[in-house]
Every structure is written in structure tokens, then in C-alpha cells.
Structure 1
Amino acid sequence: MFSRITSTFYSRIYRILHFRARRVAAKQVKVKLERFEPVHQVEAEYLSFSIDISVLVGGFWWEGSNGVKRGLGTLRVPPIELHSKKLGRLVQALGPAYLRIGGSEADKIHYFEQPEHEPDAIVLTRTMWDNLHKFVQRNQLKLVFTFKYGLFERSLHGSWQGSEVQKLLEYSKQHNYQIDVCELGNELNAYWAFHGLSAQPGGKNLAQDYATFARTVKSYLPYTKVMGPGSAYWPKLGESLAPMFNLTKKFLGYLTFELDIVSWHYYPFQSKRSPVRTRTATLRNMLSPTSYDYFAKYTEKLNFWRQLHQPNAQFWTGETGSAQCGGQPELSDRFISCFWWAEQLGNGAVSGHKVMIRQSLIGGDYGLINRLTLKPRPDYWLSWVWGQLMGTQVYRVSSNHPRVRAYCHAKANSAEKTLMLINMGNFEVNVEPDNFRSIGTGFVLTAKSIDAKKIMINGVKPKFNKGKVTLDDFPQQHFNGRLPAFSISFWIC
């Protein structure tokens, strides 16, 4: 208790001295459009999100949990209520999007029936599955589902049969339910940590199991895309305990069929719940330009393997959030979290990702929406502005200051572009644009403090009015070349 109080005290002192102190002089920063043609194109559903299967069915989750048990929170939550009209409005405002149902308990779950020998087992009931599909259809989403790999001994690896999976697929086919993308198992390179060493598959055996899985899925739902392997990458570590569990390269090399999507999972930070931390989520780390280097490093490596072994597959970030293990309280749910999210969205698009799936839509400190109150958090509003303005055509832009990041998109068949400028510094910026025809009006995201719970767009707190919110709700702001300290802005050019 004493150590926690001491840590909180020093954390608050640091915030006062460093982030609320008098700001330094303005910086002159050059932002250049490198090419007049787009370098990449993302999906319309590029910014997508997840609902963890623990939240969907009522498993172990993070709210109120101070620690971790076998990769999960220590408290069990009730199943989410998907019929909420307020939740529906919040979801529809972020569309179009994929909704991924996955997470650590995806491999522990049972479909439809509870086993007699597991009285505390979590079960995806037929009613839950029906309600999920109604939710997806009602809100014009596309479904990504993580099927259970199954907890079995090493001797069975490479011989996956998936009888429970077939039961779920058969039911879905009978009810004309669409699963747009599927994957087998959650973070299979870290299976040893969650389920024991004997459960850990190797790359060759997993490739064999994936081939069986793909044939099984397409025999029921022929238009469903198959995604994998969804390996977890850690800052500084990469795939955990290298080289023993470097699964991705071997898996892709042994595959005997064409994968539709190559995916990976990445969290730039770990919350203080995490028993192992390579980069803890702190104010300093979350605003440090060096914190973002590993995302680019791993992206380059994975893209090389994809092009070598699966050149026709798309490249997705299948799961990402600010900090592992539910997010960091008082940081992941605050304005500061917008900076990593804006940077990763921009970086991911320009580096070849087609889709970026945010963990999570709702639940945990990293949820876009507070699960208990259904109030949108700062990251939600950043995501909403991105969806309104950043199109699918991706341009390459450079900045000559490490704390000022620049990204540019355009909507299909539009002459207008949107320039996103991220100022992670405690200083104003005078922008010198280069190669941009002109910069007109825009939307500037700021807050009263870097760790504020509320965000402002052009000086106004965003909110839904009679169930609706539009960009016209905010006063017009013209580009004058100046960026406020700690701000994220979107400019029409």
C-alpha cells in the first residue's frame, strides 16, 4: 500500500513539473508531401475494433483487477448487453468497420453446451451467437471471429480436427450467418504462457492444422477469409522468448495453401498489471518518439516474410491497444492515449497494413467506450474524426522534427487530401508546408491537460445531440501555420 501511494505521489509530481510547466519556445517544422501519387490503399474498414470474447460471454476481465492470472484479469464480468441503443449509436458513428471477437479465452470457450466436468466453464450459447450476429447486421459491421484451437497435448499437434468448430459452423450455415474473416486460436506463439508448454505448437504442425482449419471453414462458408497466425509481438522482445517461439516465419514457410490475410498483434506498452514489462505505460514513454520505433521495425520484418511466402495475402494488425493486460488506468483512458493511437494509425497505413483492429471497442482501460457507463473516451473521438476525414488513399509525408508526425490520406476520387499533424511536444509548432497546394480549414484535438478525461475539438467538447454528431457541430478553424502543444490536428488541403 505504501509503495502504491509513493508511486502515485511521484507520478503526480512528475506530471505537474514536466507536462504542466511553462512551455518552451515554438519550433519551426517543415512538413513535406513526398509524392503526388498515393503509395498505398487501405480498406474502407481500416480503423476497426474488437469486443473481447470474455466481455461477450462473461469471462474474466480487467475492470477492477489489480493483477493477472494466466493472462487474464482476476474478476469475472457479466455478458455484455448488445441491445443497447446508445452502444449502437456509438458503434455506427465509427463505421464502416470490422468487429473482431477474440482474446485469451477464445481457446478456453465451449460452443453451445457446458461440459459436465467443467462447472465454471465459459460458454458461447446459441442466444449469444444469435445476438452477436444481430448486432453485426444492425450496425453494418463485418465479423472477424477467432475459433478455438483447442487445449491438447503436443502429440496431437498437426492433427487438429475441430469437432466443436464444425458444430458452430454448421449452426451458422443453417442460419445464414456470415463470418467475413476467421482465425484459428489466439496468439499461438504465446500458447506456452497461457496454457502450458505441452500446448505450444511449432510452425510446421500449426501450418498443418491451419490447412485443415481452412478446408473445414470453407466447406461450410466458402467466402470466409482465413487470417493468421496472429502472433503477439512485444516492444524490444519481438516474438516472446526468441528464438524458441518465433512461430510466424516458420508457420508462413510451411503453409501449403494461400492465406487470405497475414496478421500480428502489437501493444507498444504494458500496463502495471503485467508481470513482465519491456516498456511500461508511463507519461514519459507514451510521448517518447523512440517508443514507436519497434512498430515500424516489426512491420518491415513481417512484410518481408509475407511477400516471400504469401505475396497475395493482405497485411493486418489483428489486435492492438495502448498497453497489454487491459490498458493502464489513468493513462489508457485519457487524452495522452490519443497520441500513440494517431501515430500507429498513420504509420500502419503508410507501411502497408490494410486493416488495424483496436482492442477494444468496449471494456478495459483501453476501451474506446467505458463498459460501465457507455461514455466515449478521448480515443473514441480521435477514431471518429479519423473516420470522417482520412480516406483510403495513402500518401507519404515527412516531418523534420521527431515529435511532430505527419500523415496524409485522401478519399477515393477526391481532389482533396487530409493532413494529420501530431504534436507530441510541450511546445507550439510553426509549420512550413512543402508541396501542398493549399491548406484550408481543419479540426484540432486538444485537452486541458495531457492526462485529461475529456477532449476538445476546435475548443468544443464533442457529444451526441439527439443521437447524432457531425463535423458541422464544431466551429470552423482556418490553418494559420501554428499547432498547439500536445495536439492532434486534421487539415483539409
Structure 2
Amino acid sequence: MKKILLFWVFALLGGNVFAQQNAPQNKINLKDMSFIGKVDERYQSFNIEMCEVIGGDFWIPYNLVDSVRKHSDRKGIDALKWKIEPINLYEKKIRNLAAGLGPTYVRVSGTWANAIFFQNNDGPKLSSPPKGFKNILTRQQWKGVVDFCKAVDGKLVTSFPISEGMRDESGKWQPTQVKSIIDYTNSVGGDIHAAEFFNEPSHAIHGDAPKGYNGEIFAKEFALFKDFASTYAPKMRIIGPGSSTEGGIIPAGLDFPIDELLSHTPKPSFEVFTYHYYGNISKRCLGGQKVENALSPDWLKRTEKGLEFYQNARDKYMPNTPIWLTETAETACGGNPWAATYIDSFRYLDQMGRLAKKGVQVVMHNTLARSEYGLLDHDTHNPRPNYWAAHLWNKLMGNQVYDAGNSETGVYTYAHNLKNKSKGKTVMILNTNKTATSVSIPADAKQYLLTADELVTKKVSLNGKVLKLTANDELPEIEGKTVKKGIVELPAYSIMFLTFSK
């Protein structure tokens, strides 16, 4: 009898040990999630480069770099770019897909906007821009931007030129071009929701600012711009500065550090403090990021380092001002080749989750449809994996942010309210590990599971079914799979959204 009792004691103890060893390390506790704060309802947004709108020099696709450079006499970084045609913002497919991310902000800016001349008439396009400008933006092209924003529920964000042509004979900055763009936008039923003075003043010298430009000139001219805008377009939010590459992130090409831009009198101030972030330079521009590190904790956390630098600057010069990330992507210089594949969806969604918890109000991805970091393929405009990730975020993640608690190493968990519902939560879980794991959930849920057969692929599946557009270039129905309270399996290298209705 004693032997039988001992057998059952050991069996029970062994069973408990086995259960403990196989118990899920990841547990969702909806009741204990503390509220962190809110993000803008247009938190997830995107850029369309001014270069795309007017047609200009942009990054050569990797598969064509060698052949294009072989027949080019361009030098330096210009040898990595080629002429692209203006984007057709009336195309049905691109509008359908952009609307699938709405509501958003649509930022039309970039270096090419710094030397743009707005041809404010309906005559033939000028053969060359006036003195002091490099590029021409026609009414038709700008109307395409305005009409696009209306069609996709996008609020327009932009910046204005800063080149020599913006000054009179005495060298004083003039608002003539700004006035023309605002007037025409209004005349076609549009609205500029927010504007930066110009794109990336941290790189002003490389961004077509006049010779001798410095922080003192920036402060004085920004004051002129702000005074003009406050009376002529009082509803247009003045945001800035839109600086980038500081804080030890990318040690390249910086003209003016943030202190040089913001410390002079009259001191610049903005309704929204903006910055740009790229974790590295792409392979195209000889950057050091490698695909085998694309899921590493150091790479994923790097976005917090970029934010910390600019948060500290914001706190120093204009405390409590909302902060937006107005340009970001996998890497600068058009992104690495794998930016167009499934592996970058982890960085994309993790960055969104991290920054929401840290108080960033808006994140604008660069770009919608150009180069390897585009959400859409630049030739076909078919969705890439990052688009599907963005579409799921938009469909499921509300603007209320919660602390989802801790997870096992390599698993990242984020929680928001369930979008467009009066109650409920969405929990997003990223498993960057090469092994499967499990999650304990406290109630029945709807599961949206993203997986792929390999990491560097453009084909991604939702709950086992490959995601693709319909025959009419429309988005498919996105449906969740019911999973019961208890243990849910999380495959290796997978992304799971779980929605809880209560």
C-alpha cells in the first residue's frame, strides 16, 4: 500500500513539474493592464515624396543598380539614383490601398520640396524653373495630391521651399510661394492641415538652403514664416523642426545639430515637435545593417534611442509639446533589399507599438509606393508584407494605449483598445524567435495570425491563407479565427493580433 501511495505522490509531483515546464511563459491579463495614454487617431500615417509627385531622381532598385550605373556618368550618391516618372494618384489600386490605411496624415515633402517652384497657372509646364529654384510643381500635380487626400481620408501635411528663389533682392525671405500654394489648395477644395517650414533643417546645406545658412538665419526666417502663416492660414498647424540622424543613430551628413537650430533668438516654437528616424543607412549607400540582425533586440530597440534624443530636445526647448515622427522606414537611402519582405514587418509593427507606449502621437512611414521601403511595390503597386501589417494595425488597434506586461525573451506584446468599439482590447504579439511558443488568454478571442514560409519573402498569410487583392484590385475581407480561452499557440517567426470583445 505504501509503495502505491509513493507512486502516486511521485506521479503527481512529476505531473506538476511537467505542467510547469510546459506552462506558457506569455500570459495576457486584460484586467491588470494599466492605461498609458492616447495616440492620434491618425497615428499610423505615410509619406509621398515630392520627388514622386513631380517626377525626379530617386533610388535605383537593387536589381537594376549595376546596369543603370554602368551607363551613367553620375558620381557619388547621385549615381545611386535615376529618373522616375510622376506618380499617378488617381490610380484606382493605389487609392484603394491607401484608403485601407485611413484615416491618415499624408505628408508630401522631402528634399525635393526644398527647391520647388509652384507654377501657379494652367499654362504648359515651364522648360526650366526660375532662378533660385531647381524643380517645378504644376497645378495639375498638386491638385492630384489634394484629390488623393480627399479620396483616402488623408489630412495633408507638407513643407515649403527654402532655396535662393524665396528671397528678394535684399536677401529677405518672402512668403510669395507659400501664399500661392495655400491659395491654390483652398481654391480646389483642399486644406493643408500642418506644415513644416522646410524639410530637414538639420541638413539644410545639403537640402538647397542658400550659402551661408545657419541656425541664426533659420530662427529669423522661421519667425517670418510663422508670423505670415498665423495670419494668412491660421488653421494650418506649424510643426517642426523635422531634424534627423542625431543621437548617435546615423553619424553622417549633419549640417546643424538641434541646439544650433533652436537656441537662437527669436526662439522657434512649434505646435507639434517633429523628428525623423532611420536606424541605419541601407546597403545601397554602404550601410552596415545585415539581414541576420533584422530581428535582434538591439535593432528593434534602436527606435527608442532615436526618440529619446529628440524627446530630450523637446523637453529642453518646448516642454509638453506633442511629438510626431514625420519620416521613418527600415533604413535611409531607400531601404535594404529585405525591407520589402516579411522580415521587416516585425520592425514595422514593433516600432509602432514601442513609440505609442512612449508618447509619440503620429508615425509617418516613408514611403507609400516607392523604393524598397515602400508599403507598395513601386512598379505594380501590389501590397508588400509591411502593407498587410499596416492594414491589420489600422483595422484592429485603437488609439488608447495599455501596458500589456512582460513576455519571454524575443516575444513582444502590445495592447490597445479594440478599434471602433466602445469596449474591448486588441493585443499584438510578435514572436521573433525561431521556436514556437504559447500564450495564455483569459477569454475567447478572434485571432489574426500573420505567417510566411520564409522570412525574406513577399508572400504572407493570414490564418494560413495567402493575402492578396481581389480581381478588381480591392482589399480582401479580413476575418479573424475564433480561439477559445486557455492556451493559444504562437508559431516561430509569427505575428498575432488577438481581439477581445469585452
Name the TM tier (shorter chain): 0.7 to 0.9
The number of residue pairs the alignment matches comes to 458
The structure 1 residue matched to 2:97, chosen from 86, 90, 93, is 90
Return closer, same or farther for 1:408/1:423 CA change in 2, 3 Å cut-off.
Answer: same
DSSP-derived class of the 2:339 partner: coil
Structure 2 equivalent of residue 169 of structure 1? 182
1:152–1:199 CA contact under 8 A, matched in 2: no
The structure 1 residue matched to 2:297, chosen from 272, 285, 289, is 289
Q: Percent identity?
A: 27
Return closer, same or farther for 1:478/1:106 CA change in 2, 3 Å cut-off.
Answer: farther
Do residues 30 (structure 1) and 37 (structure 2) align? no
Do residues 144 (structure 1) and 149 (structure 2) align? no
Question: Once the 2 structures are TM-superposed, how far is the Cα of residue 70 of structure 1 from its aligned partner?
Answer: 5.2
DSSP-derived class of the 2:398 partner: coil
2:367–2:374 CA contact under 8 A, matched in 1: yes
The structure 2 residue matched to 1:333, chosen from 318, 335, 340, is 340
Superposition TM-score, scaled by structure 1 size: 0.84
Structure 2 equivalent of residue 45 of structure 1? 42
Return closer, same or farther for 1:131/1:123 CA change in 2, 3 Å cut-off.
Answer: same
Do residues 271 (structure 1) and 287 (structure 2) align? no
The structure 1 residue matched to 2:237, chosen from 225, 231, 239, is 225
CA distance in 1, matches of 2:102, 2:449: 21
CA distance in 2, matches of 1:241, 1:172: 34
Report the AA paired with residue 456 of structure 2: D
Return closer, same or farther for 1:70/1:168 CA change in 2, 3 Å cut-off.
Answer: farther
Question: Once the 2 structures are TM-superposed, how far is the Cα of residue 160 of structure 1 from its aligned partner?
Answer: 3.0
Structure 1 equivalent of residue 13 of structure 2? none
DSSP-derived class of the 1:450 partner: coil
Structure 2 equivalent of residue 320 of structure 1? 328
DSSP-derived class of the 1:216 partner: helix
1:234–1:240 CA contact under 8 A, matched in 2: no
The structure 2 residue matched to 1:447, chosen from 449, 452, 469, is 452
2:340–2:374 CA contact under 8 A, matched in 1: yes
Point out where structure 2 has 5 or more consecutive residues left out of the alignment.
Answer: 1-20, 70-74, 120-124
Structure 1 equivalent of residue 16 of structure 2? none
Return closer, same or farther for 1:59/1:340 CA change in 2, 3 Å cut-off.
Answer: same
Question: Once the 2 structures are TM-superposed, how far is the Cα of residue 307 of structure 1 from its aligned partner?
Answer: 3.4
Question: Once the 2 structures are TM-superposed, how far is the Cα of residue 61 of structure 1 from its aligned partner?
Answer: 1.1
CA distance in 1, matches of 2:80, 2:175: 27
Structure 2 equivalent of residue 457 of structure 1? 462
CA distance in 2, matches of 1:248, 1:119: 28
CA distance in 1, matches of 2:347, 2:387: 13
Residue range with higher mean Cα deviation, 373-382 or 100-109? 100-109
CA distance in 1, matches of 2:52, 2:213: 25
1:233–1:266 CA contact under 8 A, matched in 2: yes
DSSP-derived class of the 2:457 partner: coil
2:277–2:327 CA contact under 8 A, matched in 1: yes
- State the structure with more CA Rg: 2
For residues 220-278 of structure 1, the C-alpha deviation after alignment (integer angstroms, 9 at most, x for no partner) is 32101011011112673467578x73225751775646511101100123211225x3x
Residue range with higher mean Cα deviation, 211-220 or 380-389? 211-220
CA distance in 2, matches of 1:174, 1:292: 44
Structure 1 equivalent of residue 273 of structure 2? 262
Structure 2 equivalent of residue 13 of structure 1? none
The structure 2 residue matched to 1:214, chosen from 226, 229, 246, is 226
Question: Once the 2 structures are TM-superposed, how far is the Cα of residue 409 of structure 1 from its aligned partner?
Answer: 0.3
Return closer, same or farther for 1:116/1:332 CA change in 2, 3 Å cut-off.
Answer: closer
DSSP-derived class of the 2:256 partner: coil
CA distance in 1, matches of 2:493, 2:461: 12
Question: Once the 2 structures are TM-superposed, how far is the Cα of residue 85 of structure 1 from its aligned partner?
Answer: 1.0
User: What does 1:229-240 align with in structure 2 at a 5 Å threshold?
Assistant: 229-233=241-245, 236-237=248-249, 240=252
Return closer, same or farther for 1:423/1:248 CA change in 2, 3 Å cut-off.
Answer: farther
Return closer, same or farther for 1:310/1:26 CA change in 2, 3 Å cut-off.
Answer: farther
